[in-house]
Structure 1
Amino acid sequence: MTYQEGLNQIDKATEKITDANQLTTDMVMNVFLFTWQWWVALAMMVIPWVIWLILRDRKSSARIFSAGLLLMVLSEILDAIGVSYGKWAYPVKVIPVATVSFSFRLSLLPVFAMLLLQFKPRFNPFIKAIFFGASGAYVGLPLLAMMDLYKKIDWSLTYSFLILTSIYLLAHWYSRRNSFEEISENNGDNH
């Protein structure tokens, strides 16, 4: 295959992605919008962030939020890869984008992780990570599947458990970096 043929193939693939997004938009707007599943997904996008705003420790919220952002970015990248390769899908969506589920990866998971990071910060992070991974993989995903918000296609929940556990440990490690303390100390000196 020549370079130009490769570009032509990419054009065809882009057209298929555009068609998939249009089909997803049509289904959300004409079938799923305002169903109870849609409302649950919307609540999963909004309520965790409201809880975070209420319960967050203002002294450490920037540090913990940074770790939450890291978790969001990593989980969204891995999620996009999994959806792209047909390992799982998100049938009912609040925002009609074929490959993204904002409610789970960009709200529920990071807020849950940030709350775990904030509360009992000296508690064993491995136990917290296992709790986070098990809750997400063996409780959260099956509940989402029962509500048609998640569909496992060619995937094991144990893989999700291992990934979620690892991502939590990375977020924990990141949230404990000394650079956060240095920034905090420097800001304290200026006031």
Structure 2
Amino acid sequence: MTYQDGLKQVDKATQMITEANQLIVETVMNAFLFTGQWWAALAMIVAPWIFWGIFRNRESSARLFSAGLLVMVLSEILDTLGVSFGKWAYPVKVVPVATINFSYRLSVLPVFVMLLLQYKPNFNPYLKAVFFGVLGAYVGMPVLAKFDLYKKIDWSYTYSFLILTSFYLLAHWFSRLNSFEKLEKK
């Protein structure tokens, strides 16, 4: 394949992606919009952040939010890869774009991590990480699947457990960096 053939191939793939996204927009607008699942997904986007706004530790907000932001970025990257490679899908969407699922990875996961970091901060982080991984992978994801908000295709919940556990440990480490202590003392 020549370079020019590669450009033509990418153009063809881009057209296919555009057509797939249009199909998803039509499906969301005509089949899913305002259904119970759609409202549940919307609530999963909004409610965790409202909860966080009310119950966050204001003295540690920047440190905790930075750790949550790290979880958001990492989960966005891995989730996009998983959807792109056909490992899982998000059938019902609030925002009708093929790879976007704001409800879980950009709201529920980071807020839950931030709350775990905030409460009992000196509790064993490995136990908290396992708790987070078990709850997310073996409870949260099957519940999402039951309501058609997540579809496992070629994936194991155990992989998700390992990833979520690692996310928590990384967020814990990140939230403990000395640079945050200096900011909080000011």
TM-score band, normalised by shorter chain: over 0.9
**Alpha-carbon displacement from aligned partner over 1:92-151 (angstroms, at most 9, x marks no partner):** 000011011100000011101100000000000000000001110000000000000000
Partner of 1:104: 104
Partner of 2:131: 131
Structure 2 stretches lacking a partner, 5+ long: none
Partner of 2:68: 68
Q: Distance in 2 between matches of 1:61 and 1:134?
A: 26
Letter of the aligned partner of 1:24 in structure 2? I
Does 1:146 find its partner at 2:170? no
Q: Distance in 1 between matches of 2:23 and 2:126?
A: 42
**Alpha-carbon displacement from aligned partner over 1:142-167 (angstroms, at most 9, x marks no partner):** 00000000000000000000000001
Aligned-residue CA RMSD (Å): 0.6
Residue pairs, 1:4-153, within 5 angstroms: 4-153=4-153
Residue pairs, 1:151-170, within 5 angstroms: 151-170=151-170
Q: What is the TM-score of this pair, normalised by structure 1?
A: 0.96
Structure 1 stretches lacking a partner, 5+ long: none
The 8 Å contact of residues 60 and 184 in structure 2, kept in 1 or not, is answered as: no
**Percent identical residues:** 72
Q: Tell me the matched-pair count.
A: 186
Q: Distance in 2 between matches of 1:126 and 1:43?
A: 30
Letter of the aligned partner of 1:159 in structure 2? Y
Q: Distance in 2 between matches of 1:183 and 1:113?
A: 21
Once the two structures are TM-superposed, the CA of residue 181 in structure 1 deviates from its matched residue by: 1.1
Segments ≥4 residues shifted beyond 3 Å: none
Secondary structure, aligned partner of 2:20: helix
Q: What is the TM-score of this pair, normalised by structure 2?
A: 0.99
The 8 Å contact of residues 141 and 150 in structure 2, kept in 1 or not, is answered as: yes
